[in-house]
Structure 1
């Protein structure tokens, strides 16, 4: 009985594996890919290979603007059942593709980051670039919001989610927008260091 009690006590004292929630749009949702080839699955596998026994949950919804994501943030966090150790925030691409005002996207991203800070949840902010055909003023305003928000909330910024993938046809699906499985592998390989640092791992 004593041995059983000691084993049970040790099990209860064992630290919980880190929980990472990727909160974003189709880029983290894994649009057009089998579940095992999407961003969250590949990131989880890469973290575990590197010795970080993290679980990465998929909080991506295809088509979401920053406003739509803001509206579902609270119930998404409730659905996790436990407080995540890190939230990866990847939003803004759909605002940009629809030509929505950059100031509007920034206000909604600001609200997301403010709520996560209120809950004392660490964040890794993923940046996005704007299509040049939207005009120089839009591009400047849109791309400037990510470092501005990172400074305001003192969170780490990964400057461009599609770094190493954008513009490379071999890494993009036929729609010309979303990474294929090989493209996701590049994203994970390039961003895993930022994820690990944000986790303190």
Structure 2
């Protein structure tokens, strides 16, 4: 009787050990992202709009982390041209569940402003994204935007205050303006005046990198 019980317990222990050993392999087989993944949620400024995808700053970021960070995190670009904060907020839970990122980079707001969304609405959507990311265990980097001067200084200041206020409240690093040193520069902006050229992408990455590197 005791011998049978011992054999049963031994078999159970062997099964449990095998399950523990196989779990990581099964996760990889299902395409689970590594725990140190960086998720970039943005709009056309991060989606390589009208330039080769490999030229975009997010793709250049993948190359840089491979050179400078060990182990190098996977860079997951979930940016979509034309994306708004409302659209990204809807997609974010699924992205967090699928990729389990260690860092979430939020680059949004330009399309909201161009469509006339109030800064209050913009702030509400960004805030929910920050909170959701932090609850999922991810660090957050916030990338700020600006709009053309014809929007007026008051509106532009309100936009800046949205990003600065969120960064302060939730203790997240902030790049105040993604296109600093790029916007309005000849040869660095496309004909539409809104999107950086391929030649500008390394400079955009240089703007992001000092704020992102400490999070990796």
Equivalent pairs, count: 184
Task: Give distance in 2, aligned partners of 1:179 and 1:49.
Answer: 25
Equivalent of 1:57 in 76, 81, 88: 76
Q: Please state if 1:112 is matched with 2:134.
A: no
Equivalent of 1:88 in 93, 105, 115: 105
Match of 2:87? 68
Equivalent of 1:30 in 48, 53, 71: 48
Displaced runs of 4 or more, over 3 A: none
Question: What is the CA distance between 1:17 and its match in structure 2?
Answer: 7.4
Match of 1:45? 63
Question: What is the CA distance between 1:132 and its match in structure 2?
Answer: 2.1
Q: Show CA shifts across 1:90-122 (max 9, x none).
A: 010111122221111111111111111221210
Assess if the C-alpha contact under 8 Å between 2:110 and 2:145 holds in 1: yes
Task: Give distance in 2, aligned partners of 1:75 and 1:176.
Answer: 33
Q: Which runs of 5+ in 1 are unaligned?
A: 1-8
Assess if the C-alpha contact under 8 Å between 1:99 and 1:134 holds in 2: no
Q: Cα RMSD (Å) of the superposition?
A: 1.7
Normalising to structure 2: TM-score of the pair?
0.79
Q: Secondary structure at the match of 2:78?
A: strand
Match of 2:187? 170
**What is the correspondence of 1:118-129 to structure 2 with a 5 Å cutoff?**
118-129=135-146
Task: Give distance in 1, aligned partners of 2:76 and 2:133.
Answer: 16
Task: Give distance in 1, aligned partners of 2:53 and 2:83.
Answer: 19
Normalising to structure 1: TM-score of the pair?
0.85
Q: Show CA shifts across 1:62-87 (max 9, x none).
A: 1111111111111222332xx11111
Question: What is the CA distance between 1:162 and its match in structure 2?
Answer: 0.7
Q: Secondary structure at the match of 1:27?
A: coil
In terms of Rg, which structure is larger? 2
Match of 1:182? 199
Match of 2:167? 150
Q: Which runs of 5+ in 2 are unaligned?
A: 1-20, 25-33
Task: Give distance in 1, aligned partners of 2:180 and 2:189.
Answer: 12
Structure 1 residues 146, 138: CA separation in 2 closer, same or farther (over 3 Å shift)? same
Task: Give distance in 1, aligned partners of 2:93 and 2:149.
Answer: 34
Q: Show CA shifts across 1:35-76 (max 9, x none).
A: 211121111112222244222111101111111111111122
